[in-house]
Structure 1
């Protein structure tokens, strides 16, 4: 493999690229930042009590497989959320993670070693735009990164055009539903087709489902749900999720991987020498959080209020801005010169900081960047602040 192939395709940290772009520009109005998907809604105060009650756990090294209580809590939640049958064994199919990101990265290395494909250059498939950690995982595994373009909203990578020879050397297929940034949700039929390909060509699906509980109306279908519906097993699929978005606890760094029991145990053994364990108090908090849905319903309501405001204010200029899940807006700004130019204009003239779509996508071999015409807005601030930002955007661009 060439050195060029081994490099991550992200083009660097998107937020650093934006800082470099905007350096020295003074905004005309008080800044509103809509770049980073860092939840700002208040988590329930009772969660903090759990940390205090379990503070003695900070004096212990946690088991890499997590506590029995943690695994049971995740198992109960997955069964309720996705209709998994009683045969689902959380002790074999669930492990804790320090947030989903580190799991998504380390899992790719484990996929390479677990599958032991006899190929010179393994491949990893990624959507484009994509979460940069997917590229980091492929880089660490020494794999070739294959980009699957997703232009606009509601368009999923076309599975029918994938070369069987490529799939034969694939070790992992990263896929997010709801997608970041487009908010696209994969239907059951799509999941089943993808799972069928994974089993036929022997690769792992890494389903990034951290936005699974932030949706407009209908709960998104999950990869475990689809796999179980096919034949009752979780072969070749892994779901990654966390408390960051669901429970507004990004700083806790607590999540999980769940799925194919053989891979999960292999992955846990690798993590036992390569990755940090999740602190016991964080696991105790997760047990409490996954047993409570009221705060999740309220969290979703707050996001949907902001989507309703965005639809009211922005749709006359952009058309409908609604999507099925997540908390981002993915706006086509090609009329104003594309994402990079529009981000600079909005910052200079309106004081609204947004992320150019090109910074979370990568150039395709054909030369185009599927994010170039877009900007991403994270709806993490209050409703009032969000409405102010929407109105400024309209005034600036109208």
Structure 2
């Protein structure tokens, strides 16, 4: 029996690789999971009540494109956050988390005759899988310290850009926490208009920052008067509202793009269950819990800066909740940290691809700032003393 070969070039997913690296060895202390970005701040207390009160809706098929109230709540949030008005019926699609959308939107919108999809390197792994599923060539563009930890798509040659269908960009970036400025977005949108490709803006970490909200792709595109079909944005309640298990997010796109996305959903998608849609609408309308959670992340940034004070390259991110820490060898450092302390982090090369004999993640580890403060303080000190003493 034959299997498709299009995914044969993919290594195992990051976390099975991590288990293979660490699990044969004993932990050197109490286990602290800093490898996965699973928020542990309290979710809004009202969510469980709403799920209970609307539980009868689990006995009904939910509307494929989302309840009107959830569509409205999302459009209202976009207007508050980015000062852009979108049509709730023709531009909004609730998602089972953004991973579903980041993959399926490529299926819905990638043309057959544009065989290049651009992705940062390192990157969220679904970007590459979406490219390969569409028979496209993923082009991995380094996002290193030299480029401000964001990919410089403007440096690519015109031939590659003319063949490009989609450019993925994550801001604030995973894993480095870099923020695309308004100028960055303007340059990328202008490039997309010149070479006729779409931008898929993965903005899941947009509500975790110190002082200034990161600018969004839709916001900048609107100010430029860019074609609304040029941009698709993706957001989630996982990070914003500490609800990773709710699997609730959304995409916003131009009406023509959204019509194709909804058509695919009709045939192959999985709409959110009704009670989850009801709870999600309430969560998008509430900002108090977001402000409280953000305040805790800012305190964690300060904790990081105090623990790593004076260590070159080790500082809190600009936004998001990952540390991207320099090491000589990512796998060796990860294993050493596990065996000596029990702290579990992720090698940066598990989030990257080799290009031209180099892997931009090989000299870094990723550590998530998701644990409760006392536990996190202890873990950061162990990490510092183990790898940087």
TM-score (norm. length: structure 1): 0.93
- Alignment partner, residue 339 of structure 2: 348
The Cα shift of 1:318 comes to 3.8
- Alignment partner, residue 80 of structure 2: 80
Of residues 102, 106, 109 in structure 2, which corresponds to 1:108?
Answer: 106
Q: Alignment RMSD, CA only?
A: 1.7
Tell me the distance in 2 between the aligned counterparts of 1:181 and 1:145: 19
Which structure 1 residue ranges, 5 or more long, are not aligned? none
- Alignment partner, residue 379 of structure 1: 369
The Cα shift of 1:351 comes to 1.2
Tell me the distance in 2 between the aligned counterparts of 1:232 and 1:203: 12
| Range 309-318 or range 353-362, more displaced | 309-318
Aligned ranges 1:1-398 → 2 under 5 Å: 6-7=6-7, 10-85=10-85, 88-112=86-110, 116=111, 118=113, 122-152=115-145, 154-231=148-225, 233-334=227-328, 338-364=329-355, 366-397=356-387, 398=389
The Cα shift of 1:162 comes to 1.4
Tell me the distance in 1 between the aligned counterparts of 2:377 and 2:4: 44
Tell me the distance in 2 between the aligned counterparts of 1:9 and 1:293: 43
SS at match of 2:228: coil
SS at match of 1:316: coil
Residues 44 and 60 from structure 1, CA distance in 2 versus in 1: closer, same or farther, beyond 3 angstroms?
same
Does structure 2 retain, via aligned residues, the 8 Å contact 1:9–1:362? no
Tell me the distance in 1 between the aligned counterparts of 2:99 and 2:200: 12
Tell me the distance in 1 between the aligned counterparts of 2:105 and 2:229: 15
Runs of 4+ in 1 over 6 A off after TM superposition: none
C-alpha distance after superposition, 1:202-260 (max 9, x if no partner): 22111111101011221000011011111165221000111111111111111100022
Tell me the distance in 2 between the aligned counterparts of 1:231 and 1:396: 51
SS at match of 1:25: coil
C-alpha distance after superposition, 1:120-162 (max 9, x if no partner): xx11100000001111111211111100001238332223321
SS at match of 1:198: helix
TM-score (norm. length: structure 2): 0.95
Tell me the distance in 1 between the aligned counterparts of 2:208 and 2:348: 21
SS at match of 2:318: coil
C-alpha distance after superposition, 1:271-329 (max 9, x if no partner): 21111111111111111001110000011111111111111012333445122211000
SS at match of 1:126: strand
SS at match of 2:120: strand
SS at match of 2:73: helix
SS at match of 2:310: helix
Residues 70 and 9 from structure 1, CA distance in 2 versus in 1: closer, same or farther, beyond 3 angstroms?
farther
The Cα shift of 1:61 comes to 1.3
